[in-house]
Amino acid sequence: MAQTAWRIREAHFPLQIAFTRPRKTAAVSLTGGSCALNCAHCGRRYLRGMMPIWNADVQDATSCLISGGCDAEGRVPVLAYLEQVHALRTGRRLNWHVGLIGEDEIQAIAPYVDVVSFDLVGDDATIHEVYGLPCGVGDYIRTYQMLRRYVHAVPHITIGLRGGEICGEYHALSLLQELGAEALVFIILIPTKGTAYEGREPPMVQEVGELLTAARQALPDTPIYLGCMRPAGGYRDSVDRIAIRAGVNKIVNPASSAVALAAEMGLRITWEEECCVF
């Protein structure tokens, strides 16, 4: 299957790959460390690594990730601190995490949006277990469709989101075949200390490779990226090399062995310094 995926990549894309180390993108939270949810994979832990917008120092950044915790309905409060967002916007590109926001909200922030990174989940049980939300896949579909009417939205699929199990990822992929996507980002569950999933294992490397291969076959013309959220160490080393053979177009913080493999395969390598969705 990997050979088929690689032939598809050769037929639809030039022989080049982008690697990015997003040091020029500042991560900013609209809610500081607060979130109304206590998601099984995050437990508010990742908000701690972001700068609260009310004292964010982004002078060395050429772009910003505007994110934050969600309310009880899974929405990031995007209308908060718009004056500060306006200041960050000057001379910078903005990538937003918005959650399941409404149409009025996206219309209000559209002038400040270069791209929205939207997590697409393809399984109702996963939504209920991970996020604790009463909504379903249909709500994610409707939000994604609505976002695309106003802004550039890039779907993200988390491999193994439900405690390392593959549950709705293939369904999400099939949805994108129908809905369309200008690009697709895959990230992988990191079992994180202090969360409900800290004792779990990430999905097997083989499972990741099979999903990436299926994605290249399902979306032959769509740029596919391997994003920053994925386990480190030997796991990353293996996944990154498999991702290249499966035909991905960009990898964030790649393993050195993957960079070497790309060169061996004759791919022209370019380096970037911002979020992969830019």
Instruction: Assign 3-class secondary structure to 115-128.
Output: EEEEECCCCHHHHH
Report the mean per-residue pLDDT for the chain: 97
Residue 83 to residues 95, 105, 126, 140: CA-CA distances in angstroms? 17, 15, 36, 28
Domain membership of residue 252 (yes or no) is no
Apex 160 CA angle, 155 and 165, nearest 5: 140
Measured from the Cβ of residue 30, the count of other Cβ atoms closer than 10 Å reads 24
Please check whether residue 18 lies inside any domain of the structure.
no
Residue 238 lies in a domain: no
Q: Is the dihedral of CA 140, 142, 145, 147 positive or negative?
A: negative
**pLDDT of res. 104:** 98
Identify residue 218 by its one-letter amino acid code: A
By CB neighbour count within 10 A (0-12 exposed, 13-18 middle, 19+ buried), where does 50 fall?
A: buried
Q: What are 146-205's pLDDT values in tens digits? A: 999 999 999 999 999 999 999 999 999 999 999 999 999 999 999 999 999 999 999 999
pLDDT > 80? residue 20 = yes
Q: Judge whether 184 and 211 are in contact, CB under 8 Å.
A: no
In a domain, 78, yes or no: yes
Backbone angles phi, psi at 217, to 5 degrees: -70, -35
Is residue 4 domain-resident?
Answer: no
Rounded CA gap, 257 and 254, in Å? 8
Predicted pLDDT of residue 2: 75
| pLDDT tens-digit series, residues 140-157 | 999 999 999 999 999 999
In a domain, 200, yes or no: yes
**Dihedral (Cα; 47, 49, 53, 56), 10-degree rounding:** 180
- Residue 125 belongs to some domain of the structure: yes
pLDDT at 4: 94
Give the domain extent around 154. Answer: 24-212+219-229
Give pLDDT tens digits for 222-266.
Answer: 999 999 999 999 999 999 999 999 999 999 999 999 999 999 999
| Domains contained in the chain, number | 1
Share of the chain above pLDDT 70, in %: 100
What is this structure's pTM?
Answer: 0.97
Residue 128 in any domain: the answer is yes
CATH of the domain at 87: 3.20.20.70
Burial class (CB in 10 A: 0-12, 13-18, 19+), 78: buried
- Alpha-carbon span 267 to 56, nearest angstrom: 38
